Amino acid sequence: MSKLVLTIDDSRSMREMLRLALSETGFKVVQAVDGVDGIEVLGGCNPDVIVTDVNMPRMDGFGVIQAVRKDPLKKHIPILVLTTESDAAKKLRAKEAGATGWIVKPFDPVKLVAAINRVVA
């Protein structure tokens, strides 16, 4: 049975790259255009993992992590942050909020798939 990944990113091209990289390796992908949309989409599905950007309009990735971790039915879902940010303070903030991992863009599809497989195994 294939795993479901929720990707949250405000960049259309990044969403498409994620969709292609993940669907080509057997994952099912559902997408959201920002944090608010991501939380709405999450209400209608139960993904095995969430991959979220940090810098987005309406709700950033930190807000997404906090909202998911507050939801008793969704708080167990691993969350990977995929961002251009490499600042140690932001990484720490994400970890403290409940992020499972941090991947810097541009991403290597093979490494992304390996990271997802590690956290959903």
Break the chain into its structural domains and give their ranges.
4-120
pTM to 2 decimals?
0.96
User: CB within 8 A of 29, min separation 6: which ones?
Assistant: 4, 5, 7, 18, 19, 22, 23
40-93 pLDDT, tens per residue? 999 999 999 999 999 999 999 999 999 999 999 999 999 999 999 888 999 999
Q: Which CATH architecture has domain 4-120?
A: 3-Layer(aba) Sandwich (3.40)
pLDDT in tens, 103-118: 999 889 999 999 999 9
Measured in degrees and rounded to the nearest 5, phi and psi for residue 110 equal: -65, -45
